[in-house]
Amino acid sequence: MLENGSPLTLCTPPSFQCYDCSGCGDCCRGKFAINISRDDYARLMSQEWENEPEYRGVTLATPKGKGYRLAHQADGTCIFLMENGLCRIHAKFGEGGTIGPVT
């Protein structure tokens, strides 16, 4: 369940990836780099994360190939991974705020 009360919708990655998201957060704990497209990066920047105290002055993503890579915390986890193992972007914005892998 998301913070806004809507159910968590899980995503199935493109066919070239051999796993499905189960919402466990393992991929976000440093096992995989989370790459996003330029459009997703623009959407991420429009979400005004800099207004959240924990993200002020923090780099959220860095250029990588055709798109960007989400930043990681000092322990290697995705910068948006919450303590409960869910994504802060999805929790705050639901499906409309989701970002996806570079294809």
Residue 67 placed within a domain: yes
Query: Averaged over 65-90, what is the pLDDT?
Result: 86
- Is there a domain that residue 89 lies in? yes
The residue range of the domain holding 59 is: 27-97
- What pLDDT score does 5 carry? 58
Neighbours of 32 (CB within 10 A): 13
Q: Which residues contact 87 (CB under 8 A, 6 or more apart)?
A: 25, 28, 78, 80, 81
Task: Give yes or no for a contact between 71 and 62, defined as CB atoms under 8 angstroms apart.
Answer: yes
Asked if residue 14 belongs to a domain, the reply is no
Look at residue 18 and tell me if it is in a domain.
no
| pLDDT above 90 as % of the chain | 19
* Total count of domains within the chain: 1
Predicted TM-score (pTM) of this structure:
0.70
Answer for the pair 100, 90: CB distance below 8 angstroms, yes or no. no
Q: In this structure, is residue 13 part of a structural domain? A: no
Residue 61 has pLDDT above 90, yes or no: yes
In eight-state DSSP terms, residue 14 is P
Q: How far apart are CA 70 and CA 46, in angstroms?
A: 15
Kindly state whether residue 76 falls inside one of the protein's structural domains: yes
